[in-house]
């Protein structure tokens, strides 16, 4: 009980202190019955804080006509910017004279109603362009928005970005998606082409207008064009130019280069790269620099970059493997060239087939005279090669370094394969790549025709040989072409 008394005293003291601090008096107990309580100091009656309600202003628009521009494919929000909107008001949306939304309820699948009384149209097309207006009821005030859809009738998108009539740069190994979209009222047939050639795509890709570029390589670089065939004389079309950054592509057509002691040898290396690349030569893992021994020339050859290493005054120490190395910001690649005294790998030149008789020609580079040649041939399906061995009979001391091997034989009908290798005074070359040819059935030809022999003005060296049951060796001739420098194998 005593504690309760002290608590009441404490609350009373706090009330007194609060009154003194605020310089105010507590309300009289009969304040609700005192009509003069609200009088001011002059004795005039005051105004009650609760008076009659004042009518609010009606809803209105600061702008009644709005112009809105959009591009095909854009998502567009059309606002209803009403002022003094009350809970008793309602909003109706119209497209021209057709109702499209009633309050929060959309009446068409092209329109989405929003909580702030705006409407949203996704991926607008030319058909969506019109006069839209919202009506605020019951006052029937309106705001008109004219939607204009301006832009190309056809657009190309790359990974969702509009790239129509632009250039794009991809990296080797990337994956990207190209999509062709039309903005036409009629259904269109999407047709893709690449560098002027029609692309063969699946029916699903054609219907969706999408092509997917997977694991992109340098061959994917070029111009992609899309045509929206709507049956008109002037169908919409667009293009995108694709550039591909890729690691160097390095090659040489002469992996083995023949040399002669005391002479010079040219080692060629061709390459492509994007971005630009630098090239250099290595031997025994050491970079070769310009010197009395080496000369390096950079040039272009058949549209590609070429680097040429010239090795001067060759001796035995210069023989061996050289590596052409090409670097760019993406990667580094190499091509290997072997320098030796042996003949280079023979390269097929041409052939002539007359009935069952075939004449084959190869070209061989060798500064040293050829002493022997071996020809292998077999019918498709055979496991072993038939061999014709040629023994050296005459030394050729010409200086052109180009030898031509001609081999003539009669074969049974079928698919045949042939390859050759040659020997000079230093050693054997590698076998040439297999050349394939077809002998048709003899009934389709006249058996009386004879193949042409080599021209009489060629220096000849005769070789003898044999055959087997499947074929009969008619002529095997190796001859040096004194004037054949103009027919060098330029690669």
| 222-228-232 Cα angle (round to 5) | 130
H or E stretch at 6: helix 2-22
Q: Which of 66, 64, 87 has its CA nearest to residue 76?
A: 66
Output the CATH code of domain 65-149.
2.60.40.10
353-388 pLDDT per residue, tens: 998 899 999 999 999 988 889 999 999 999 999 998
List every span in the chain annotated with CATH 2.60.40.10. 65-149, 154-246, 252-340, 347-487
pLDDT of residue 100: 93
Check if CATH label 3.40.50.300 holds for domain 347-487.
no
Between 3.90.1150.10, 2.60.40.10, 3.40.50.720, 3.40.50.2000, what CATH number should domain 252-340 receive? 2.60.40.10
3-class secondary-structure state, position 163: coil
- Determine the topology of domain 154-246 in CATH: Immunoglobulin-like (2.60.40)
Q: Which of 360, 376, 378 has its CA nearest to residue 478?
A: 360
Residue 39 tokens read as: 């009088």
DSSP string, 382-426: -SS-EEEEEE-------SS-EEEEEEEEEE-SEEEEEEEEEEESS
How far is the C-alpha of 347 from the C-alpha of 490, rounded, in Å? 12
Q: Are 345 and 423 in contact (CB under 8 A)?
A: no
pLDDT of residue 442: 61
The structure's pTM equals 0.59
Instruction: Please list the ranges in the chain whose pLDDT falls under 50.
Output: 1-13, 15-50, 391-397, 445, 447-491
> Could you give the strand order of the β-sheet that contains 471-480, starting from the edge strand earlier in sequence?
347-354, 357-365, 402-411, 471-480, 461-462
Q: Which of 480, 233, 447 has its CA nearest to residue 364?
A: 480
| 301-305-309 Cα angle (round to 5) | 90
486: left (phi over 0), alpha (psi -120 to 50) or beta: alpha
pLDDT of residue 343: 95
- Distance (Å) of CA 451 to CA 141, 324, 351, 355, 390: 100, 44, 11, 10, 21
Residues 47, 48, 49, 53: what is their CA dihedral angle, to the nearest 10 degrees? -90
H or E stretch at 9: helix 2-22
pLDDT of residue 229: 87
How close are the terminal C-alpha atoms of the chain, in Å? 118
7 φ, ψ (degrees, to nearest 5): -65, -40
């Amino acid at each position: 009980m005593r504690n309760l008394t002290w608590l009441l005293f404490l609350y009373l003291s706090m009330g007194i202190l609060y009154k003194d601090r605020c310089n105010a008096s507590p309300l009289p107990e009969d304040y609700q019955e005192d009509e003069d309580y609200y009088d001011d100091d002059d004795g005039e009656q005051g105004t009650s804080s609760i008076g009659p309600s004042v009518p609010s202003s009606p809803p209105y628009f600061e702008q009644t006509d709005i112009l809105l521009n959009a591009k095909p494919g854009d998502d567009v929000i059309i606002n209803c910017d009403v002022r003094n909107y009350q809970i008793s008001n309602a909003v109706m949306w119209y497209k021209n004279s057709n109702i499209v939304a009633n309050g929060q309820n959309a009446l068409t699948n092209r329109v989405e109603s929003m909580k702030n009384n705006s409407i949203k149209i996704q991926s607008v097309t030319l058909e969506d362009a019109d006069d839209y207006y919202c009506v605020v009821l019951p006052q029937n005030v309106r705001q008109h928005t004219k939607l204009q859809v301006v832009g190309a009738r056809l657009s190309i998108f790359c990974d969702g970005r509009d790239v129509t009539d632009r250039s794009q740069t991809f990296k080797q190994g990337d994956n990207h998606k190209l999509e062709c979209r039309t903005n036409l009222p009629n259904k269109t047939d999407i047709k893709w082409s690449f560098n002027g050639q029609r692309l063969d795509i699946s029916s699903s890709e054609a219907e969706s207008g999408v092509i997917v570029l997977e694991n992109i390589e340098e061959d994917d670089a070029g111009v992609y064009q899309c045509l929206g065939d709507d049956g008109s004389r002037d169908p919409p079309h667009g293009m995108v130019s694709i550039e591909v950054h890729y690691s160097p592509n390095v090659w040489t057509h002469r992996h083995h280069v023949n040399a002669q002691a005391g002479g010079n040898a040219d080692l060629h290396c061709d390459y492509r790269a994007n971005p630009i690349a630098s090239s250099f030569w290595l031997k025994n893992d050491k970079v070769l620099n310009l010197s009395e021994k080496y000369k390096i020339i950079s040039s272009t050859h058949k549209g590609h970059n070429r680097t040429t290493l010239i090795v001067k005054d060759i001796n035995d120490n210069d023989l061996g493997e050289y590596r052409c190395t090409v670097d760019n910001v993406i990667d580094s690649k190499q091509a290997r060239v072997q320098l030796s005294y042996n003949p280079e790998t023979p390269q097929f030149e041409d052939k002539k087939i007359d009935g069952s008789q075939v004449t084959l020609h190869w070209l061989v580079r060798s500064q040293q005279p050829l002493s022997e040649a071996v020809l292998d041939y077999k019918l498709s399906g055979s496991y072993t090669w038939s061999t014709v061995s040629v023994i050296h009979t005459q030394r050729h001391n010409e200086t052109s370094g180009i030898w031509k091997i001609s081999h003539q034989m009669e074969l049974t009908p079928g698919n045949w394969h042939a390859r050759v290798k040659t020997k000079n005074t230093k050693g054997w070359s590698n076998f040439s790549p297999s050349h394939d040819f077809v002998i048709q059935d003899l009934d389709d030809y006249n058996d009386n025709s004879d193949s042409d022999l080599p021209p009489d003005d060629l220096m000849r060296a005769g070789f003898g040989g044999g055959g087997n049951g499947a074929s009969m060796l008619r002529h095997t001739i190796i001859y040096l072409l004194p004037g054949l420098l103009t027919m060098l194998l330029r690669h």
